Amino acid sequence: MLSSIGTSIPSPPTGVWEIGPFPLRAYAVCIILGVFAAVWIGNRRWVARGGQPGQMADIALWAVPFGLVGGRLYHVLTDYELYFGEGRNPISALYVWQGGLGIWGAIALGAVGAWIGARRMGLRFLPVADTLAPAVAVAHAIGRWGNYFNQELFGRPTDLPWGLEIDPENRPSGYLDATTFHPTFLYESLWLLGVAALVIWADRRFRLGHGRVFALYVAAYTLGRAWTESLRIDSVQMDDVLGLRVNVWVSLLLLVAATAYFVVVGRRRPGREESVVRDGHDPGAEAAVR
């Protein structure tokens, strides 16, 4: 039995606080804090690129709902046995507050929402994506702490001093005798903060543009995600494709695609866009509307 009680990381006693008749869920709080952090960082970076204050908040009104739907869809599709089949309650697939958001679905549909918002405002989408890249990384880093409060998505057993204590009822079958596990939420959160710092530095140092900042974020994140994913022991229906978890394959494929995009676009379109406004759009009219 692996145990490092005394030097390990304790799990919180609860992930829900009752405030009168209303439950306040830590998972939801982490997501909300991440969104606020992303909007604040995105707004500062956008203004520095010549955009108008508040435009990133307007785009978030599109990107966040789309991202939540996309994240939940990805999770349900890859873990459908949790919600469908004998003895399951399909309506629970809508219970986002209980945890279960897939980052790739969130980014994919969140990008669609950001594209819609940018287009409605007459803004170029790629500068928007580049501006938000480190903001998304920070938001994801904060959101990962929701997994900590839910005692979910941890790694295999470990006796390292920073092993995470998991209550017996939250341990997967086959690991009931283990007490401490790799805190993959913490690994990923720290990695994401490092990715955000890398992206901001590279953007300032090399004046990246045309979607290359976002590509760098995807490439750097997936490099770490492939490792943390390989540590996890939670059961996934779409698991073990040619010996690897589906999320490891997704990470590796996105790593290759993002790296290729970064290199090819860097050769064809070096530098940064001169304007964040779409061709033919009057920024004065946008200011008047605002």
pLDDT digits (tens, 9 = 90+) for 235-268: 654 456 666 778 888 899 999 999 999 999 999 9
Mean pLDDT calculated for residue range 68-95: 83
- In the numeric block, which tokens belong to residue 60? 């978030």
Cβ–Cβ < 8 Å for 178, 218: no
Nearest residue to 82 (alpha-carbon basis) of 102, 55, 108: 102
Q: How many CB atoms lie within 10 A of CB 176?
A: 11
* Helix ranges, 86-183 (H): 103-120, 125-143, 145-150
Q: Which residues contact 21 (CB under 8 A, 6 or more apart)?
A: none
Q: In the block, which residue shows the tokens 């974020």?
A: 217
Amino acid at 38: A
Cβ–Cβ < 8 Å for 145, 184: no
Mean pLDDT calculated for residue range 155-179: 93
Mean pLDDT calculated for residue range 123-139: 98
pLDDT per position as a tens digit, 53-66: 999 999 999 999 99
Q: Which residues of 244-266 are buried (b: 16+ CB within 10 A; e: fewer)?
A: bbebbebbbebbeebbebbeebb
Q: What percent of the chain has pLDDT over 70?
A: 90
Mean pLDDT calculated for residue range 214-232: 94
Pairing of strands 180-181, 22-25: unpaired
pLDDT band at 283 (very low <50, low <70, confident <90, very high): low
Cβ–Cβ < 8 Å for 246, 104: no
- In the numeric block, which tokens belong to residue 225? 């995600």
